[in-house]
C-alpha cells in the first residue's frame, strides 16, 4: 500500500529501482521518475535493468545513469520493482534476496513483494509515482515531471486508450505546470526513429494479410529482413499496431522471428475481442486488447494456429468471458505482458505484457 511505501522511503536510504526486461515508456519513465524523487529526498538510489534503455527513451532525464546488469550485485535497503507481473520479469538474478517493493497498476500482478502497492485504477505506474510524490511532500521537479509524463503518454497511447481517465489528464496538466513541454517529449519518444526502422517497416508492411472477413490481419518480420535493413531488435516494436489503424480490422498479430523457428507474437484487438486468452494458450499473457506470446515451430504453423484463434475470437467476441479481460491500457509486455497498442509509436512492446 501507498503508506507502507512512504514509510520505507522515509525510514531507509539505500535503494535500487528496476523493471521488466525490454523496458518501455512506463517502466523507464516510472523508474526514473522514482529515481529523481528519491534523489530529491537525498536518498541513495540507482536504476538497474537487465536490458539497455531503448532508443526512444534515451532522452529521458537520467537515462544515461541506468546501470545494465544481469544480477542484483549490491545490497540495498529495498529494491522497487516497477510494473512486473512476477519477480522473474526483471530478469535479474538474486533479486529475491532483497527487500522487494512491488509497484504496479495491473490487477493481475502477483503479490511477490515484501510490500505490494497495486493500483489498477492508475493509467500508468507513472501516475502512481506522481501520487507518491504528493504523499511524500516532494515538489515535482522538471526531471520527475518529464519522466512521469513519458510514462503517461506511452501507456495511454498519447491519451488514446481506454485507460485514459479524467485523473490522467489532471496529472498531465500538473506535469505541464511543472515544466514539461509536451511537444518536446512527444517528439523525443514518437518521432525519433532511426532510418533502419522506416526501412524495416517497409518490408514488414509488405507482408500484411487479412482473412476473408477483413477483420483479422497479420504481418511478419523475418531475421533476413532485420539483417537486410540493419535494424535493431527494438525497431519492430509497434508494427503490430499499423493494421489496427484500418477501421475494419478488429484483431491483429505480428510475428517477429527472433531465432530460426522461434517467433515472438504480438497480439492486438479492439473492444471486447480478448487476445490475452489466446496468448495464454501459448504460454504468454497480457491484457484483453494487447498481449503476446512466443511460438516455436515453422512459420506455416505459427500463422495457421494463431490466425485461426484470432478469427475465432473475433467471431465469438463478447461471448463467454471474452469481454471480461482486464483493460488494455497499461503497458506490460514481453513474455507476460505487452504494452497497450500505441498507435503512433505503438512501441511499447514488452515482450508480453503492457
Residue 155 within binding range of Mn ion, rule CB under 5 A: yes
Nearer to Mn ion, 19 or 221 (CB): 19
Give the range of 69-77, 148-156, 224-232, 250-258 binding Mn ion by CB under 5 A: 148-156
**Minimal CA–CA distance to 237: which of 24, 30, 70?**
24
Q: Are 349 and 19 in contact (CB under 8 A)?
A: no
CA atoms within 13 A on the CB side of 138: 27
3-class SS at 34?
helix
Q: Are 26 and 124 in contact (CB under 8 A)?
A: yes
Nearer to Mn ion, 83 or 335 (CB): 83
We find the least distance from the C-beta atom of residue 41 to Mn ion, in angstroms, to be 24
- Give Cα separations from 5 to 11, 78, 81, 102 (angstroms): 10, 10, 12, 9
C-alpha cell at 254: 505480428
Q: Which stretch binds Mn ion (CB under 5 A): 3-11, 248-256, 314-322, 327-335?
A: 327-335
* Residue 104 to residue 339: CA distance in whole angstroms: 14
Count of residues near Mn ion by CB under 5 A: 6
Stretch of residues binding Mn ion (CB under 5 A), selected from 41-49, 84-92, 110-118, 147-155 = 147-155
Q: Is 330 in the site for Mn ion (CB under 5 A)?
A: yes
Site for Mn ion in 176-205 (CB under 5 A): none
Q: Report, in this order, helix, strand and coil percent for the chain, each rounded to 5.
A: 35, 20, 45
Which of 331, 334, 341, 347 is close enough to bind Mn ion by CB under 5 A? 331
Report the Cα–Cα distance between both ends of the chain, in Å, rounded.
22
Smallest distance from Mn ion to CB 332, Å: 6
Instruction: Name, in order, each residue with C-beta under 8 angstroms of 64's C-beta and a sequence gap of 6 or more.
Output: 58
Q: How many CA atoms, within 13 angstroms, populate the side-chain half-sphere of residue 156? A: 27
Which is nearer to Mn ion, 62 or 329 (by Cβ)?
A: 329
Pattern 50-89, Mn ion, x by CB under 5 A = ---------------------------------x------
Site stretch for Mn ion (CB under 5 A), options 153-161, 188-196, 262-270, 343-351: 153-161
Min CB(238)–Mn ion separation in Å: 15
Q: Give whichever of 62 and 331 is closer to Mn ion, judged by the CB atom.
A: 331
| Residue closest to 156 by CA, chosen among 342, 337, 20 | 342
* Residue 167 to residues 108, 124, 261, Cα–Cα distance (Å): 22, 11, 44
- Taking the complex as a whole, how short is the minimal distance between the CB of residue 85 and Mn ion, in angstroms? 11
171 touches Mn ion (CB under 5 A): no
Toward Mn ion, which CB reaches closer, 26 or 349? 26
| Of 201 and 276, CB closest to Mn ion | 276
Separation CA 205–CA 203 (nearest Å) = 6
Residue from 16, 19, 25, 26 touching Mn ion (CB under 5 A): that is 26
C-alpha cell at 176: 505541464
Residue span 202-241 as binding mask against Mn ion, x where in contact by CB under 5 A, dash where not: ----------------------------------------
Question: Would residue 164 be called left, alpha or beta, if left means φ above 0 and alpha means ψ between -120 and 50 degrees?
Answer: beta
Question: Shortest gap between Cβ of 155 and Mn ion (angstroms)?
Answer: 4
Considering only residues 124 through 143, tell me which ones interact with Mn ion, judged by CB under 5 A. Answer: 124
Query: Per rule CB under 5 A, is residue 349 in the interface with Mn ion?
Result: no
With respect to Mn ion, which residue has the nearer C-beta, 309 or 326?
326
> Of 310, 318, 290, which is closest to residue 162 (Cα–Cα)?
290
Nearer to Mn ion, 252 or 328 (CB): 328
Residues that bind Mn ion (CB under 5 A): 26, 83, 124, 155, 330-331
Amino acid at each position: 500500500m501507498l503508506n507502507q511505501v512512504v514509510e520505507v522511503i522515509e525510514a531507509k536510504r539505500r535503494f535500487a529501482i528496476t523493471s521488466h526486461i525490454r523496458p518501455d515508456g512506463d517502466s523507464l519513465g516510472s523508474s526514473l521518475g522514482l529515481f529523481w524523487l528519491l534523489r530529491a529526498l537525498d536518498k541513495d538510489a540507482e536504476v538497474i535493468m537487465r536490458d539497455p534503455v531503448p532508443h526512444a527513451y534515451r532522452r529521458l532525464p537520467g537515462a544515461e545513469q541506468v546501470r545494465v546488469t544481469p544480477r542484483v550485485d549490491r545490497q540495498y535497503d529495498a529494491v522497487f520493482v516497477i510494473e512486473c507481473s512476477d519477480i522473474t520479469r526483471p530478469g535479474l538474478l538474486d533479486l529475491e534476496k532483497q527487500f522487494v517493493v512491488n509497484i504496479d497498476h495491473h490487477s493481475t500482478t502477483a503479490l511477490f513483494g515484501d510490500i505490494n502497492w497495486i493500483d489498477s485504477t492508475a493509467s500508468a505506474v507513472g501516475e502512481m509515482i506522481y501520487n507518491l510524490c504528493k504523499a511524500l511532500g516532494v515538489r515535482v521537479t522538471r526531471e520527475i515531471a518529464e519522466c512521469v509524463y513519458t510514462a503517461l503518454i506511452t501507456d495511454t497511447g498519447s491519451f488514446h486508450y481506454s485507460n485514459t481517465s479524467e485523473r490522467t489528464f489532471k496529472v498531465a496538466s500538473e506535469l505541464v505546470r511543472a515544466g514539461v513541454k509536451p511537444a518536446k517529449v512527444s517528439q523525443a519518444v514518437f518521432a525519433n526513429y532511426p532510418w533502419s526502422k522506416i526501412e524495416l517497416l517497409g518490408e514488414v508492411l509488405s507482408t500484411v494479410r487479412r482473412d476473408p472477413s477483413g477483420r483479422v490481419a497479420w504481418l511478419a518480420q523475418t531475421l533476413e529482413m532485420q539483417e537486410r535493413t540493419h535494424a535493431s531488435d527494438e525497431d519492430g516494436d509497434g508494427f503490430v499496431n499499423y493494421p489496427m489503424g484500418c477501421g475494419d480490422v478488429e484483431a491483429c498479430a505480428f510475428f517477429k522471428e527472433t531465432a530460426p523457428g522461434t517467433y515472438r507474437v504480438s497480439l492486438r484487438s479492439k473492444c471486447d475481442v480478448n487476445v490475452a486468452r489466446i496468448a495464454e494458450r501459448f504460454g504468454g499473457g497480457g491484457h484483453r486488447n494487447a498481449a503476446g506470446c512466443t511460438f516455436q515451430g515453422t512459420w506455416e504453423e505459427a500463422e495457421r494456429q494463431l490466425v485461426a484463434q484470432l478469427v475465432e475470437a473475433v467471431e465469438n467476441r463478447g461471448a463467454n468471458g471474452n469481454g471480461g479481460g482486464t483493460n488494455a491500457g497499461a503497458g506490460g509486455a514481453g513474455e507476460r505482458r505487452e504494452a497497450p497498442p500505441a498507435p503512433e509509436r505503438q512501441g511499447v512492446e514488452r515482450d508480453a505484457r503492457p
